[in-house]
Every structure is written in C-alpha cells, then in structure tokens.
Amino acid sequence: MADSSDRILNGGFQPQYAPFQRLFQPNNSRGPSRSNTNTPSPTHDHILPNAQSPGFGYGRQGHPMMNLGPKFTPGGNDNHHGFSSFGGGGYGGGNHVGQQHSTPTLQNAQPLTPFQQEQLEIASLSRKSSGIHHHAKVSVETARTGSRPSAAVTITDPNHPSQPIINGLHRKDGPTQEAQEMPSEDGSEKRQEWRALDLGGVGTRNLAQELFKYSFITQLYINHNKLTSLPPDIKQLKLLTQLDVSGNQLTSVPVELGMLTNLKELFLVDNQLTTLPAELGTLYQLKTIGIEGNPLNEQLKSLIYKDGTVGLIKYLRDSCPVPLPPPERQWYIGDKKSDASDDAEKRTPEHGIDSFNVFCYNILCDKYATSTMYGYTPSWALSWDYRKELILQEVMSYAAEIVCLQEVDIQNYEDYFAPQLAYAEYKGVFWPKGRAKTMREEERRTVDGCATFYKTTTFDLLDKKLIEFSQIAMSRDDFKKTDDFFDRVQNKDNIATVTLLENKKTGGRVIAVNAHIHWDPRFKDVKLVQVALMMDEIHRLATQYAKIPPRARPTNHEGEWDPPKYSNGTKIPLIICGDFNSIATSGVYEYLSKGIATADHSDFGESAYGALTSEGITHPFAMKSAYANHDMQFTNYTPGFAGVIDYIWYTTNALEVKGLLGGVDESYLERVVGFPNAHFPSDHIGIMAEFKFKKQAETKTLPPPDFGESSRRTSRQETRGGARR
C-alpha cells in the first residue's frame, strides 16, 4: 500500500482539505516584520543557521549561501564550498569548477580530474539535501534574511500536517497556475508568481499526472523519494531549467527528457542508472549533470570525468540514432486534403497552361549553421555536404515552375544549385546582399542572397532587378535627414529581387519577387520600412512593365496566341515570396494584407523616417497570403521559437490559389526539439502554392445612348458638320 505522501501526490487530496496553512514564508509576507530580521524563526532554528552566524556566507550575486566547509576530498571532510538558494542554480557550477585545490590521493592513485571532483562535490551536497522539502526550506530561510523573495512556498493541509501539498498543486479553489495568492503585510491577498516546486524527501513512489500540467515551472525537485521511473509526460515541462531526481531508484530515464531543451542543471545522483539515452544529446543548454552514485557504464563515466557535461552532451548528440522519417506532407486542394506524393501524379496531367506552382524556402546558409546556434543538431546533420543534398532533393521533388530560395551564398549558387537545377530545366537569377560589394573575392563568395529559379519549359525571362533597401532609402531626401535612418536602416543590407516572367504558351506575365527581410525582433520599424520601400519599388517597376507591348506569336507556338494586355501595373499578376521574419500580428503582415500602415503604427515606435512615419505607408496592390485561410503551425521551428514567418503573397485580382503544401506531421514533432535535423536540413520548412491566372475582364466599347429618332437625326447632323469642318 502506498504511504500517505503517495496518495497526496497521486491526486488523493480531497476537497475537504481546501483551507491551507502556509509555512516557511518570508517575513515580508507574514504581516508586521520583526525589528530584528536576523533573529531566527523558532520553527526553523533546526534547519539552517542564522545568516550572520559563522556557518553562513554570501555567494554569487550577493545571495546568502550556507557554508558547508572545505571542498570534498577523498578521506577528508566531504563538504562543499557553498549551497545556492532555492531557484539560484542548484549544486554545481557547470563545467567551471572554480578555484583548484590540492587533492590528497591514495598511494599510486591517479589524481582526480576537475570534472570528477565536481561530480563528488555534487553527490556530497545531494546526500545532505535528503530532508523533506530541503530546497524550499533553504530558499525560505534565505529569503527571510532579506536577500530576495522566495520562489516557492510549502503548503500544508492543517487537518493532516504531515501531508504537505506543495505550491498549490492540488488546490481546487486556488489561483491560476501562473500565480499564487500570498498574504501581504496588511493582511490582504496579493498574487505572487512562483516557478519552483519542491517535492523532495516525501517518500513518494509515483508522480501525479496533474504535475505535468504545470508547464510554467522552471525548477522541479523530486529528489530522495522512491521513484523507480519518470513518466514520459515530463516532456510537457518545457520551461524547466533545473531538475533534481537524485536519491531515487531509477534504472533508466525516459528519452523524452531530451525534449527539455531549457535544462541547465540535471541531477541524477544515487540512482541505479547503467546508461543514459542518446536523446539527451539535444540538451544543448545543459551546464551541469550529476551522475555520481550510479553503476554507469565505464565509457560514459570516463567521458564525464574527462570532458565534463559539455563533452557528454556532444557525444550523446552525435551518437543519437536517426529517428523515423515523418510522413509525407499533405497537399491541400480547397478544403480537401490528400497525400502530397499521390497528388503530385494527379496534378501533372491536370496542371493546365494557365496554372503554375511557386516554392519558397530559406535554406539556412552554411556559415550560419554553427553548433553554437544549433547545439541540438548532430554535427553530421549540420554539415553542409549533408544538408545541401537534402535541399536539392526537396526542390527537385516538388518541381515548381518558380522557386524562391533565401540564404543562398554565391559559391553554392554558382558551383552547386545553378548547375544541378539546370539538369531539371531551371535557370536562375541571383543577387547577394550588399556587403559583397566591399569584400575580397574569397570572402565575397560566402555572402548569401536571394536566388530565383524558373522552369525554362514554362517561362521566359523578360527582366530582372535588384532592390537594395538601404540604397533606395539613401536616394530619398527625407530619409537622409533622420538619425534613425543612419542608425537603424542604412547598416542593414537586406535585399529583394524582381523577375518579370512570361508564360511561353499563353503570353501571360507574372512578376515574381524574392525577399529576405531583417531578422531581429527589436527592429520592427526597420522591417516595416524595408517592406514599404520594396512595395514602392515594385509599384514603380510594375508601372513600367505594363507599358511593354505583348510579344508577337512565337514561330513554333501551337494553338491560339492571345496574350493579355495590362492597363496598369496592378493588373499584372504579382507573387512576393520570402522570409519576412514577421508573424501574422506584425505591422509587416498588416501592411501587406491591408495595403496601409498608419503613421502612428506601434511597429514604428519612436523612430522617424520622413514621410513614411509622418504620413503613413500605402501600396496599391490587392495582396493576400496564400496560407491566409489555412492553419499552418510554423515555417520556422527551433527550441526557442516556432511560428510562421515565411510567406507567399499574391494579388487576388489576377491570381487564385488552387492548392497548398501543408505542414509537418504533428506526431513527428512530438519527438523533435527543432530543425535542422536528419530529415529537415534548415530551421525553416519550404512552402508551396499552386496558382491559376484569372481571366481578365473584357473591356467593351459601349455604343452611344439612343433616345429615339430626334437623337439619331441630331447625331447625323453633327457627323456631317464634322465632315465639312
């Protein structure tokens, strides 16, 4: 039979226990404060010494830390240099082990490595924290001395004082998960957020399922219990930075632990672990792992002693087996969803001459794909030789008539993508970012830019243009007068490219724009300015393109040849693809979809950009995102961000969407912390839409109004009079 703490932690707490008594609270939350804040609480005298006593010191950032004596050495005093307060960083200090001390060794024994000594220190501290709610008590005592407020509060059922309920885990009438009510000094209730949960030392054998609904907690202490396993649902606690499961009876840890990519400290001391799952290699932010006291295999143990936590994570990451590939992405036709691979065969014969596909993809430039940026990705999956093959395969498999790629560097455009795609009857248009102009040839070849490829069997290229946002802004007199232009816009060398294509079979034209907007979320104003400048330039070019007369019938053309005529630039079908680094609630999205952003738009902030911020911005095109009516989970997927920032925009007066490429299978994403990985070579995913040209409304010349015989007689007289003149 489970003990009382088991029943509580497994949801056994009953509604009649609703009133709670708070223990171990800071002085400033109990009411009138004592005159002497250094006087220890009678309740806690046996827990920790006073902050002013010889047993207390001050640690990092001035937080009080319990001084447990000299560092642990074999045969010596097994104490540590300090203990951080609850919520302050756990036992260790990452791979930095601080000041080196001489370590007594047995005769003929090898001296301890710094990382081995660190493991022994962590284990020593862990064994001293086996008491009930040890971390919470330390935290409260620390907060009581005035250092900082407590991050967690122990709550006890007054009817069963020996059965603690921590942080309102089972409160039915309590506050929301994000905040906890705390009494203020005047006795009124106030809400205090908490992020740490201490279930340590209560002897539980199982964890309540409700625990994993507390997805906001950042620290979880379930040490010194009787747990034999951790539920896979622990992956729901994605914000955890510190997890202590020391002193249990674990024989394994779930692979789902690797989904907790925010973890910085993981303590597994004194369990029955013989190995660690390779999936822990995705814990790229982990600074400290404690594994002492486990019958761990010698390979892993030696690796930790030699290279520390960082070395262990790197080894696990690169030795992790490749997961099963995801199912094919779905293809949407209207409201109908079908398999993309099956539907590709169906689309080919039905893909009429008035339809075409557009594929957009930020491929992640090689120089940006570093282990620092993507520490969760195996090094072999991050290598360019591996990724470029997957990228090319993906582009070729979708066989879109127009392909817009971002972050393609000069070298790989010239030496790889252009030659390889030429075999599939593509030609390309490419420009690098502006910085390439000032670099030597060797450095220049690593600069990325935008590459647009088009099927030569479908389109002819009529014109191509480069849009350099900073250069266009420089040409505007009102921009030159603002400090914000020089400080925020001019030093960003993002670009867009414009291609004017003509359908070989119909003579219909389409303007295809490929853009890459500045990435930094702190520069929302710059993003909006760049897109506004782009739309102004597109309008200017479209007006010129509308004046280009239709070409004569090609000599080898079969069938009718009646190319459309465009009365103005807004009548030409327009596609704008790219990585806009802007979500659907941004000013960029609002401006493109509505055609206007007012001068007081919040994304402009306090910045001044001449007429753009004094009068607002507009554009004349009827634009819509191809995915506006579809719930796309993301186009960029990393542990720190998952959202839609890539778009295919089109003019609704000239084009209609016939189909869309769907997102990534959700069941696959449950096992993946982020991209790139073995199956997705970029942190972005490609998006694709099928478009159909709309027929232009015919403009008919209406006859003059007929008001009877008198009207016709007058008309004839005017005609004769005009002839005489």
* Residues with catalytic roles: 579
Cα four-point dihedral sign 511, 515, 632, 332: positive
Q: Helix 587-594 crosses helix 524-546 at what angle (to 10 degrees)? A: 20
Q: Which residues make Cβ contacts (< 8 Å) with residue 134, sequence separation at least 6?
A: 198, 200, 201, 221, 223, 224
From 449, 304, 343, 361, select the one nearest 647 (Cα to Cα). 361
CA distances for 444 relative to 431, 433, 435, angstroms: 12, 10, 8
The residues, any chain, with a CB within 8 Å of residue 16's CB and separated by 6 or more, are 159
Q: Are the C-beta atoms of residues 306 and 95 closer than 8 Å to each other?
A: no
Token code pair at residue 554: 């090609």
Closest CA to 98 of 110, 74, 80: 80
Signed CA dihedral, 118, 123, 128, 133: sign only: positive
- Are 155 and 168 within 8 A, CB to CB? yes
- DSSP string for 161-192: TTSEEETTTT-SSS--TT-EEEE-TTS-EEEE
* Cα–Cα distance, 657 to 693 (Å, whole number): 9
Q: How far is CA 475 from the centre of its chain?
A: 36
> Residue 407: which residues within 8 A CB-CB, separation 6 or more?
362, 363, 364, 365, 368, 448, 516, 579
Q: Is 334 exposed, middle or buried (0-12, 13-18, 19+ CB in 10 A)?
A: exposed
Calpha distance 634→52 (Å, rounded) = 53
Q: How far apart are the C-alpha atoms of 408 and 422, rounded to whole Å? A: 16
Closest CA to 516 of 442, 428, 439, 431: 431
Torsion of CA 311, 315, 317, 319, to 10 degrees: 180
Backbone angles phi, psi at 625, to 5 degrees: -75, 135
Q: CA of 467: how far to CAs of 286, 538, 667, in Å? A: 43, 9, 41
Angle at 525 between CA 522 and CA 529, to 5 degrees: 140
Tell which residue, 101, 107, 51, has the closest CA to residue 79.
101
Q: 165: which strand partners?
A: 155
DSSP for 590-620?
HHHHHSEE-TT-GGGTT---THHHHH-EE--
Taking the CA of residue 53 as centre, how many other CA atoms within 13 Å lie in the half-sphere pointing to its CB? 12
Residue with tokens 């929301």: 176
Give the position of tokens 């095109």: 621
Secondary structure of 131-166 in the HEC alphabet? Answer: CCCHHHHHHHHHHHCCCCCCCCCEEECCCCCCCEEE
